[in-house]
Chains A and B, each alone.
Chain A
């Protein structure tokens, strides 16, 4: 049986029962006594009894046995010990009797301790024992060894006896001393210890009458070692004259002790505790003058703290000088009339109610003319949004695009490859170019739109990599709202295309969304064809199905193009595939196709509208910076803008277009605006920036023409407009329209079926939304896009 089993089957209770405290061990010791020992014990007991007799009551057999065992059957030693013990107990008894007579309680003696009857303390309240019941503590008897053998070797003096004995001894020694003085002085002690032990013999005892009195009055049975707190503790035979004499005197004559009066310092430290004791010797007030804090003093002490602290004064002055305190005019002071005059001469205007926006040097530019002029030398900038079903390879495709067009260097890609391999996702390395956050990388899913730019010979492109996962559709809408055209990435591997293309797939939803956001041009990148061995049949199948769907979604056939490619290998993205790999395709690469895509003309002459995509601190010089894409209109440095909602005005201090400083920007530009005269708190992602003279009026309730994707009834919806999203409610279904002609087919319909065009009234639940006529909105409910449309 293994040890484990023993432990497992062990009865713990039994085991614990066996151990019963120390008693057991003692029993074992007794049991350990051999038969010879026992015989010796009996013999020894008999012999002790013979000597001591049986009449001593305290001498029990057990005690004798114990003693015998202790001395290991040495009868003589045992008897001596027992006799000594008996003697002390006898003494104790006598003492007890005396004590009882004098009605002094000695509760510390063992006998009296045991004599407390049960229930003695019953009527005594806990914690408040009456005085008469308090016991008097006697000094504990010192161990015998302490006296005989001196501490640290000791002085070798004979153990001290009682005071009387000591006195007698001292007297006899004094006599001997006198005799010795007559003869030749013999000092033979050599060592210090000998000397110390000797000194009592060669010094005459001169004990004052007071000392005599004190010693004679002391009890004969005084403890051998004197009480520490008792002045009689001083040695019995003093060699020296005055100080020792004073030592032996009782405390009734304290002046003889070398006691000093406390100094002023000490008086101040001990305060009241000793001031009374020494008041007769030294006038207290002469040494230490402790003035009790009077009301007056308190008031005075407080006074210093009444006004503002010096720091406060300085800070107030500083803030005033900067003009940060609103509406505070300098007080007129007659004594400072001259200064006043001087100030007036400076013609400094009073601080206005609200600080005017910082003046920024402004030369009015005709932005539209400038734009037309620069068109020829500037490359066209286009935003493209990359959409598609989750895991279609959008990010990888764009990563490849950036890598092959030289935006991302080789080293970075190598680093990403290593890191991706480390977590077992080597195929995600290229996607990491755009998926920067840790969560995106860990999950292998794009969460927020990533913006990156690249340039070809013919144009500049800003990639908006939209998340494919349906949980992040709002982010995708935000990206799509800024896009000129879309790249729809389709996974061509078996089953994947079908998964993305079914009713819940994002291929369809994304396509519909970008169309409803106003994107007309779409490039379908049929991805992962390397997995299909560049199978033409598969490509054609996808092309056929997608063409059909996109046409129904509202894309014109001329605006849709299909490109077979592989993001992972990079074939047909920037470079042509190797010869013979795709013999059936001779069309353009993805980049070539992008270059041909002409961006739609922007309404640059209309009032400015720009949705804030990001608010951040652009540095020390530019504390407030906003980023976004100008949707409509134009903007130049020095313009006063207003942020809707909030109505906060600001001045454009500087403009950056694609990270290049610029004097102006037009619709379609991705810009960073450095603002002045506004706090960051007033700016929120999703707010709309307008010119101060043509502000947008936020709407609480509006009518919208929508294309329904799902069945609609009056219901709660989420309203998305770019970055902005808010909850609202379809309050009224106004009419359904004919898709082709736009004429009303039915007024006040009960519900709007999927795929039908309709006019509805929408109320915003919260604060009014910055929407206006023509704003494109997307309505979602329960995680699905239910409709898209424009505000009427």
Chain B
């Protein structure tokens, strides 16, 4: 019968049938309320898990709502034997950061743009010193970060005015450093998640690197009279800053760091904005301290994630070893 003949024109369904996942409630609106209530010294809650992707050596998934990103670590794998690849006494680290096309309000292209390349090189800087690369000669370690969802960090001017439906080319005062804040949060997340993924991959490191970001704001009124006298009012340091500045405040600068808490070392530092000195103390130092504090806070989550994974693996291994070890007993 014709119906029984193999159907070559279609991809046949699995024999057991399939159902699509159903999301009953959207998680988009819930975190906003939390965000508002957050004191400036507290970072947003982080969800971090490792071992998401089975096909790579190590992987992790990080959520700092709304930011969602996944990190894959490939390697260490041998460098291809060819005349073009030079001998590498230390492992070659490559980092790649890519926003999914749907990750931001403005749709992104499939090719990496300049901001993604920039993030990639900063992530490289944050990680390269922490990895014991000398243990993996003639090999390559690839860190691939895919950002699935992010705060609106796109093109500064375009994004904002598209949102508001205006076509003005003028930058609003509170938009200063908007992209840096958004990208800073992303970079800090990348660093933290990449460390977790590297730990998951079993790559030896001197210490886990956690990312931290902090911004400094001033009162709106002060920002207008800025430059005439240095007697501006109290500065507001915000760890893990939101893209939109707090009410009545104008942003000054943002700092992102990659921080190895156990060694008290900074592997990556990125500051943008205007900073001066106050009472003999450079504002930059204060800002860096805030970023370090943020990084320390995220380090706790990073530790938990790394430990959870190890427990998971060890538990599994013991379960299998216990099951196998009982019945096999050889003598002689």
Contacts and interface: CB of A to CB of B under 8 A. Distances in A.
B262 A239 contact: no
B7 interface: yes
Interface string B311-332: 0100000100110110011111
Most buried by A among B46, B263, B324: B263
Contact of B262 (A125, A131, A233, A242): A233
Contacts of A264: 23-27
B113 interface: no
A129 interface: yes
Interface string B270-302: 000000000111101100110011101111110
B13 A154 contact: no
B235 interface: no
A195 B282 contact: yes
Given A239-B289, A301-B18, A288 B300 contact: no
A286 B25 contact: yes
Contact of B301 (A128, A258, A265): A258
B63 interface: yes
Interface stretch (A79-87, A183-191, A550-558, A772-780): A183-191
A233 B303 contact: yes
A230 B281 CA distance: 35
A230 B205 CA distance: 15
A581 interface: no
Given A155-B265, A243-B297, A286-B25, A260 B13 contact: no
B47 A229 contact: no
Interface in A251-266: 251, 254, 257-266
Given A151-B129, A239-B293, A301-B18, A262 B63 contact: yes
Interface stretch (B36-44, B114-122, B152-160, B175-183): B36-44
A244 B293 contact: yes
A258 B305 CA distance: 12
A150 B266 CA distance: 10
Contacts of B138: none
Given A129-B321, A150-B265, A151-B263, A247 B299 contact: yes
Given A235-B261, A259-B45, A307-B3, A298 B16 contact: yes
A291 B22 contact: yes
A159 to B, nearest CB: 10
B325 A262 contact: no
B9 A312 contact: yes
A229 B129 contact: no
Given A155-B265, A234-B300, A289-B22, A123 B318 contact: no
A606 B255 CA distance: 107
Contact of B46 (A125, A233, A260): A260
B318 A229 contact: no
Nearest to B321: A131
A739 to B, nearest CB: 68
Interface in B1-52: 2-3, 7, 9-10, 12-19, 21-27, 41-47, 49, 51-52
B284 A192 contact: yes
Interface in A225-242: 225-226, 228-231, 233-235, 238-242
A302 interface: yes
A152 B3 CA distance: 70
Nearest to A238: B296
Nearest to B208: A228
Contacts of B303: 228-231, 233
A268 interface: yes
Given A151-B265, A157-B264, A309-B9, A263 B65 contact: yes
B281 A128 contact: no
Nearest to A260: B45
Contacts of B21: 268, 288-290
Contacts of A289: 21-24
Interface string A286-297: 111111111001
A192 B9 contact: no
Contacts of B63: 260, 262-263, 265-266
Given A196-B292, A261-B47, A312-B2, 10 more contacts: A122-B332, A188-B280, A231-B307, A247-B299, A258-B44, A260-B45, A260-B64, A263-B27, A264-B23, A266-B61
Interface of B: 2-3, 7, 9-10, 12-19, 21-27, 41-47, 49, 51-52, 61, 63-65, 68, 129-130, 148-149, 199, 205-208, 260-267, 279-282, 284-285, 288-289, 292-294, 296-301, 303-304, 306-307, 310, 312, 318, 321-322, 324-325, 328-332
22 contacts: A123-B332, A151-B263, A151-B267, A152-B129, A189-B281, A195-B288, A225-B262, A228-B205, A228-B303, A230-B303, A233-B262, A239-B289, A242-B41, A243-B296, A257-B301, A258-B298, A259-B47, A262-B63, A265-B27, A265-B68, A266-B68, A308-B3
The 6 A-B residue pairs with the shortest CB-CB distance, nearest first, are A298-B17, A260-B45, A243-B297, A301-B17, A260-B47, A195-B285
Interface of A: 122-125, 128-131, 134, 146, 150-152, 154-155, 157, 160, 187-190, 192, 195-196, 199, 225-226, 228-231, 233-235, 238-244, 246-247, 251, 254, 257-266, 268-270, 273-274, 285-294, 297-302, 304-309, 311-312
